[in-house]
Amino acid sequence: DAMVIQNPRYQVTQFGKPVTLSCSQTLNHNVMYWYQQKSSQAPKLLFHYYDKDFNNEADTPDNFQSRRPNTSFCFLDIRSPGLGDAAMYLCATSRVAGDYEQYFGPGTRLTVT
Amino acid sequence: RKEVEQDPGPFNVPEGATVAFNCTYSNSASQSFFWYRQDCRKEPKLLMSVYSSGNEDGRFTAQLNRASQYISLLIRDSKLSDSATYLCAVSPKTSYDKVIFGPGTSLSVIP
Predicted confidence (pLDDT) per residue in B44-64, tens digit: 999 999 988 889 999 999 999
DSSP, collapsed to helix, strand or coil, labels residue B25 as strand
Q: For residue B1, what pLDDT is reported?
A: 72
Task: Report pLDDT for B98.
Answer: 78
Q: What is the pLDDT of residues A88-101, one digit of tens each?
A: 999 999 987 666 78
> In residues, how long is chain A?
113
pLDDT at B25: 94
**Residue ranges of the alpha helices (H) in B1-111?**
none
Nearest Cα of chain A lies from the Cα of B97 at a distance, in angstroms, of 5
Which residues from A are below 8 Å from B when comparing CB atoms?
33, 35, 40-43, 45, 48, 50, 55, 57, 88, 90, 96-99, 101-102, 104-107, 109
Looking at the predicted structure, is the pLDDT value of residue A5 above 80? Answer: yes
Task: Report d(CA A20, CA A75) in Å as an integer.
Answer: 7
What mean pLDDT is reported for chain A?
Answer: 93
Coil, helix or strand at residue B102:
coil
DSSP state of A83: G
Q: Return the closest-CA partner of residue A93 out of A21, A22, A9, A3.
A: A3
Neighbours of A96 (CB within 10 A): 14
Q: Cβ distance A60 to A47 under 8 Å?
A: yes
Greater confidence (B96 vs B104) lies with B104
Mean pLDDT in residue range A7-35: 95
Backbone angles phi, psi at A96, to 5 degrees: -135, 175
> Which of A4, A104, A108 to mutate against chain B (most B CBs within 10 Å)?
A104
The mean pLDDT value for A14-41 works out to 95
pLDDT value of residue A100: 77
CB atoms within 10 A of CB B73: 23
How far, in Å, CA of A3 to CA of B43, rounded? 13
* pLDDT tens, position by position, B8-49: 789 999 999 999 999 999 988 888 899 999 999 899 999 999
Instruction: Write phi, then psi, for B79 (nearest 5 degrees).
Output: -110, 160
Q: Rg (Cα) of chain A, in Å, rounded?
A: 13
Residue B92: per-residue pLDDT: 74
Q: Are B85 and B23 in contact (CB under 8 A)?
A: no
- Say which residue, B16 or B95, is predicted with more confidence: B16
| pLDDT on residue A97 | 66
Q: B94 vs A98: CB contact, 8 Å cut-off? A: yes
At residue A40, the 3 state secondary structure works out as coil
The answer to whether residue A75 scores a pLDDT higher than 80 is yes
Residue B95 has pLDDT above 60, yes or no: no
E strands present in chain A: 4-7, 10-13, 19-25, 31-37, 44-50, 53-56, 64-67, 73-78, 87-94, 103-104, 108-112
Residue B80 has pLDDT above 50, yes or no: yes
